[in-house]
Copies of this chain bind each other. A is one copy, B any other.
Amino acid sequence: MKQNSSFALKGNVCFSTDKNTLVSREHAYVVCENGKCAGVFSSLPEKFQGIPVRDAGDSLIVPGFADLHLHAPQYSFRGMGMDLELLDWLNSVTFPEESKYSDQEYARKAYSIFAEDLKKSETTRACIFGTLHVEATDILMELLEKTGLKTFVGKVNMDRNGPDTLQEKSAEISAADTIRWLDSCTGKYQNVKPILTPRFIPSCSDELMKKLAEIQKHYKLPVQSHLSENPGEVSWVQELCPESSFYGDAYRQFDLFGGKDCPTIMAHCVYCPEEEIQLMKEQGVYVAHCPQSNTNLSSGIAPVKLYLEQGIHTGLGTDIAGGHSLSMLRAVSDSIQVSKLHWRYIDSNRKPLTFEEAFYIGTMGGGEFFGKTGSFLEGYEFDAVILDDTYFPHPQPLTVRERLERLTYLSDARCVTGKYVSGTEIF
**A→B interface (CB under 8 Å):** 76-83, 97, 100, 106, 109-110, 113, 295-301, 324-325, 336-338, 340-341, 343-346, 352, 354-355, 391, 393-396, 398, 402, 405-410, 412-414
Contact = CB atoms under 8 A, between A and B. Distances in A.
Contact of A412 (B109, B407, B412): B412
A391 B413 contact: yes
Copy number of this protein in the oligomer?
2
B78 A324 contact: no
A341 B295 contact: yes
Contacts of A346: 345
Given A296-B337, A345-B300, A79 B113 contact: no
A409 B413 CA distance: 14
A409 B79 contact: yes
B395 A113 contact: yes
A231 to B, nearest CB: 9
A97 B396 CA distance: 9
A345 B294 CA distance: 13
Contacts of A413: 391, 412, 414
A309 to B, nearest CB: 17
Contact of A395 (B76, B81, B83, B344): B76
Contact of A409 (B325, B336, B338): B325
Contacts of A405: 79-82
Nearest to A295: B337
B412 A300 contact: no
Given A76-B396, A79-B409, A338-B341, 9 more contacts: A79-B410, A80-B398, A83-B352, A106-B395, A113-B395, A296-B337, A296-B340, A297-B340, A341-B341
A-B complex: 3 closest residue pairs judged by Cβ atoms: A79-B409, A412-B412, A110-B395
Contacts of A414: 412-414
Interface residues of A, dominant DSSP: helix
Contacts of A297: 340
Contacts of A396: 76-77, 97, 100, 110
Given A355-B82, A405-B82, A341 B301 contact: yes
Contacts of A409: 78-79, 82, 324-325
B345 A345 contact: yes
A247 to B, nearest CB: 18
12 contacts: A78-B410, A79-B408, A79-B409, A82-B405, A83-B352, A83-B354, A109-B395, A298-B341, A300-B345, A301-B341, A301-B345, A414-B414
A393 B82 contact: no
Find the residue from A97, A341, A406 having the highest chain B CB count within 10 A. Answer: A341
